[in-house]
Amino acid sequence: MRKIIHCDCDCFYASVELRDDPSLKGRPVAVGGAAERRGVVATCNYEARAFGIHSAMPTASALRRCPDLIVLTPRMDKYREVALQIRAIFSRYTEQIEPLSLDEAYLDVSDCDAFQGSATRIAEAIRQQVRDEVGITISAGVAPNKFLAKVASDWDKPDGLTVITPSQVDEFVLSLPVKKIHGVGKVMSARMATEAIFSCADLRQKSLNELLGLFGKFGHQLFDYARGIDERAVKPHRERKSLSVETTFAQDIVGVDAAKSRVAPLLLELETRLLRRGDKKFSGAFVKLKSDDFRQTTIDRRYEGDLTSVLFEQLLEEAWARMASPLRLIGIGVRFASNEESSGGSNSIEGGAEQQLDLFTDIE
């Protein structure tokens, strides 16, 4: 039986800013791009969330909801420094650490001898040490597997600790709303509602074949999650699945030709980042577009040749046909050969593999 802890910093970037400037305490604060440059909110504190502000919301929209919102420019170097401090605290208890982002990680403490092997007391110690040594709060979930640990860490935010023991798994899962399952967003939860699926108890009423028919490959995970099953191991070395670059425009791009003219500088930036990382082998290329009314689509194709403007312009034309409206964002990228890929284009990543998205790619 594994002992898994999922740790997730509370409003990480905003928490670091409030730590460094105590005068911001009690005031609505967001970290993100400037409204006049069509930036987005990367994160915000709970005072800002009370106004309905959330990550990935356009900063201009956030300011309309809360005119007194304090919008701070991201300090990524500082956030990385703090993340390394937190990672060092994790490493006092285990080497089995799987980071999902700067502010979030899984820890497998099954073989840890600290506190007589109590995962709950280890999680309590980590939270206390982060508070004392780093000056911010972190929530944690303790459970027999990754799925439940991640659900638990979000159960009592901020500054919370939720423990699901093996004997509690079945009772906990039966009452769990499907919207709490990672990978089930608004679109999929709406589809589930049409099938009268609102909780994991409802999912259990469906056979595996029924779930596969309704939700494709994700049906396998749903079948297991509804029973509290997740056999995934904590992987200390996560391979990067993709690399991309994006630009959010101050003025909408109108027309496919104008959009294609923006590909060359993006490709140059992508090639520079690939060279810096030493990544040469990839098996897919993609283009992402976001319209002026915030619709988003991605065209993703298997590809192993040289990266050229012509390739991405062709993908952009296909994506444009779906949008047929002015664009606020264009992105291009590659998927790496050593990772599992999906073919074809899509408008959603719901039900896909767990991956970390870089919110700052939308910030100019």
- Grade residue 182 by pLDDT with cuts at 50, 70 and 90: confident
Domain membership of residue 49 (yes or no) is no
This prediction has a pTM of 0.75
Task: Return the half-sphere exposure (C-beta side, CA atoms, 13 A cut-off) of residue 209.
Answer: 0
* Cα 64 from Cα 186, distance rounded (Å): 24
Long-range contacts at 134-137 (CB < 8 A, ≥ 24 apart)? 134/82, 134/85, 134/86, 134/89, 135/19, 136/9, 136/10, 136/12, 136/15, 136/16, 136/19, 136/82, 137/9, 137/10, 137/15
Q: What is the DSSP code string of 191-213?
A: HHHHTT--BHHHHTTS-HHHHHH
The predicted-structure confidence for 286-316, as pLDDT tens digits, reads as follows: 999 998 888 889 999 998 888 899 999 999 9
Amino acid symbol at 268: L
Judgement on whether residues 220 and 248 belong to the same structural domain of the protein? no
| Band (338; pLDDT cuts 50, 70, 90) | low
Residue 309 lies in a domain: yes
Residue 345 clears pLDDT 60, i.e. is over it = no
Q: Indicate if 274 and 246 belong to the same structural domain.
A: yes
Cis peptide bond prior to 158, omega within 30° of 0: yes
Question: In this structure, is residue 307 part of a structural domain?
Answer: yes
Domain that holds residue 268: 242-345
My answer on whether 247 and 213 are in the same domain is no
* 180 and 258 assigned to the same domain: no
Q: Is residue 297 part of a domain?
A: yes
3-state secondary structure of 289: strand
Secondary structure letter of residue 109 according to DSSP:
-
What are the residues whose beta carbons fall under 8 Å from the beta carbon of 343, sequence distance 6 or more?
300, 301, 302
Determine, yes or no, domain membership for 180.
Answer: yes
Say which DSSP state 183 is in: T
Does the residue 78 lie in any domain? no
Q: Are residues 183 and 270 in the same domain?
A: no
Average confidence (pLDDT) over 59-81: 94
The phi, psi pair for 302, rounded to 5°, reads: -65, 135
Q: What is the pLDDT of residue 209?
A: 95
The beta-carbon contacts of 179-187 under 8 Å, at least 24 apart in sequence, are 180/151, 180/154, 181/147, 181/151, 181/222, 181/225, 182/147, 182/150, 182/151, 182/354, 183/218, 183/221, 183/350, 183/351, 183/352, 183/354, 184/350, 184/351, 185/348, 185/350, 187/348, 187/350
C-alpha to C-alpha distance for 312 and 284, rounded to whole angstroms: 11
Asked if residue 333 and residue 251 are part of one domain, the reply reads yes
The confidence score (pLDDT) of residue 4 equals 98
Indicate whether 321 and 252 sit together in one domain: yes
Domain count of the chain?
2
103 is in an annotated binding site: yes
Please check whether residues 256 and 202 belong to one and the same domain: no
Strand partners, 8: 104, 139
Report residue 223: phi and psi, to 5°: -60, -45
∠ CA(306), CA(310), CA(316), 5° rounding?
Answer: 115
Rounded to the nearest integer, the mean pLDDT of the chain is 88
Q: Are residues 273 and 325 in the same domain?
A: yes
Please tell me the predicted confidence (pLDDT) of residue 48. Answer: 97
**Residues of the chain with pLDDT > 90: what percent?**
65
3-state percent helix, strand, coil for the chain, nearest multiple of 5: 40, 20, 35
Q: Quick one: 209 and 296 in the same domain?
A: no
Residue 317 resides in a domain: yes
Residue 318 lies in a domain: yes
- Per-residue pLDDT averaged across 52-77, rounded? 93
**Are 262 and 335 part of one and the same domain?**
yes
pLDDT of residue 68: 96
Residue 279: per-residue pLDDT: 58
Instruction: Indicate the pLDDT class of residue 171, thresholds 50, 70 and 90.
Output: very high
Distances (CA, A) of 215 to 67, 155, 187, 351: 42, 26, 12, 8
What pLDDT digit, counting tens, does each position of 240-281 carry? 788 888 888 878 889 999 999 989 989 988 888 888 766 557
Would you please indicate which residues are annotated as catalytic (active-site) residues?
A: 104
pLDDT tens profile 115-154: 999 999 999 999 999 999 999 999 999 999 999 999 999 9
Alpha helix (H) ranges present in the chain? 12-20, 46-49, 59-65, 76-90, 119-129, 146-153, 169-174, 186-194, 200-203, 208-215, 218-225, 256-260, 263-277, 309-323
In this prediction, what percent of the chain has a pLDDT beyond 70?
A: 91
Q: What is the pLDDT of residue 276?
A: 73
Q: What is the pLDDT of residue 40?
A: 85
- Is position 252 annotated in a ligand binding site? no
User: CA-to-CA distance for 220 and 353, rounded, in angstroms?
Assistant: 12
- Residues 210-231 have pLDDT tens digits of 999 999 989 999 999 999 999 9
Task: Tell me which residue of 98, 89, 41 sits closest to 64, measured CA to CA.
Answer: 41
- The CATH number that applies at residue 201 is 1.10.150.20
- Contacts of 51-60 with CB under 8 Å at 24 or more apart are 53/28, 55/359, 56/359, 56/362, 58/294, 59/30, 59/32, 59/33, 59/34, 59/35, 60/35
3-class secondary-structure state, position 253 = strand
Whether the predicted pLDDT of 344 surpasses 60 = no
Instruction: Give yes or no: residues 183 and 260 share one domain.
Output: no
Per-residue pLDDT tens for 186-207? Answer: 888 999 999 999 999 999 999 9
